[in-house]
Amino acid sequence: MSPYLFGHDWEQERRRLDLLEQVYDGGTLAFLGRLPLPLGGHCLEVGGGAGSIALWLCDQVGPDGRVVATDLDTEFLERRAGKRCEVRRHDIVTDGLEEDAYDVIHSRLVLEHIPQRDDVLRRLVAALRPGGWLLLEDYDWARPSAAPGCVGGELLERAHDGFAELLAAAGYRPDYGLALSGDMRSAGLVDVQAEGRVHLGVPGSPASEWWRLTLAKICPAVVERGHLTEAEVEELFDLFDHDGFLFRLPTLVAVWGRRPG
Ligand SMILES: C[S@@+](CC[C@H](N)C(=O)[O-])C[C@H]1O[C@@H](n2cnc3c(N)ncnc32)[C@H](O)[C@@H]1O
């Protein structure tokens, strides 16, 4: 069973995933748009979350194509994309995957959470058709940090310390984004390219709200571990509305490469 920390049963999770899409879909679609994906093509979206990328892939491949969208919990995918693509309740660690089957495979902010990510990467490469493309996106935590002089910067840093400790205990790899291009080459992909993008948590922006909810989900455990008190958590969340609160999110690294053939 996967130790994933952000289960879909949290009442705010759908909103958190919507915000994630608002922040990152623009860049992701630009990268996907560069890959050759013919009408009638076959695609796999791993850990599809709330489903925006799966829907976009459906538009690209048209009615003769095939899009498979997987997740540990498929309720959001079913509701939004169930009529247009094949939604599969599937743990990418333990459940079987077709080989030589897909023209494009994409997964965003999933493998970094999975301790068995090397194995998963090998299976994703094997699931590509010869000539098919894999696009993976994961964070590099060159430390989400407060801007110089940011109000509450020290509090945010302590919340991040607690967050990092919690993630590490769940097998999360915080520098996976940076390791990805080397790992994808070692897994046999060629023409590997990479690009990172950094968003700033400007008060009131989707990026700031995505990060606020991400911290809100894990803060009870951070308090339990003694990094913050309940009162400090309240203070931290008030800061997100403060004009002087500005911070940098981790870098989202996108890496794409082709299976030879
Ligand atoms: C941070 S969310 C990202 C959602 C989506 N990829 C996006 O970027 O909008 C991670 C997603 O991966 C799913 N997930 C986590 N571990 C998984 C696993 N072992 N197999 C399949 N999906 C998994 C989660 O349920 C969640 O929907």
Q: Report yes or no: 48 and 70 within 8 Å, Cβ to Cβ.
A: yes
Query: How far is Cα 164 from Cα 169, in angstroms, rounded to an integer?
Result: 9
The pLDDT tens digits for 58-108 are: 999 999 999 999 999 999 999 999 899 999 999 999 999 999 999 999 999
Task: Give 1 Cα–ligand 1 centroid separation in angstroms.
Answer: 14
Write the residue with the smallest CA distance to atom 4 of ligand 1.
Answer: 49
Find the domain containing 139 and state its range.
13-258
pLDDT by residue, tens only, the chain of 261 residues: 557 999 999 999 999 999 999 999 999 999 999 999 999 999 999 999 999 999 999 999 999 999 999 999 999 999 999 899 999 999 999 999 999 999 999 999 999 999 999 999 999 999 999 999 999 999 998 766 788 888 888 889 888 888 888 999 999 999 999 999 999 999 999 999 999 999 999 999 999 999 999 999 999 998 998 989 999 999 999 999 999 899 999 999 999 999 999
Query: How far is Cα 73 from Cα 51, in angstroms, rounded to an integer?
Result: 12
Write the residue with the smallest CA distance to atom 8 of ligand 1.
Answer: 108
- Residue to mutate, 1, 2, 4, ligand 1, most ligand atoms under 8 Å from C-beta: 4
**Domain-embedded: residue 247:** yes
207 lines ligand 1 (CB under 6 A): no
**Domain-embedded: residue 7:** no
76 lines ligand 1 (CB under 6 A): no
The residues, ordered by sequence, that sit 6+ positions from 122 with a Cβ below 8 Å of its Cβ are 187
Query: How far is Cα 69 from Cα 90, in angstroms, rounded to an integer?
Result: 9
**Domain-embedded: residue 8:** no
**Domain-embedded: residue 4:** no
How many domains, the chain?
A: 1
> Could you tell me the CATH number of the domain that includes residue 155?
3.40.50.150
Q: How far from the centroid of its chain's Cα atoms is residue 120's Cα?
A: 15
User: What is the β-pairing status of strands 247-248 and 145-146?
Assistant: antiparallel
208 lines ligand 1 (CB under 6 A): no
Cα dihedral: 10, 14, 15, 20 (round 10): 110
Q: Give this prediction's pTM.
A: 0.93
**Domain-embedded: residue 3:** no
Beta strands in the chain (DSSP E): 42-46, 66-71, 86-89, 102-108, 128-140, 145-146, 190-197, 200-201, 247-248, 251-258
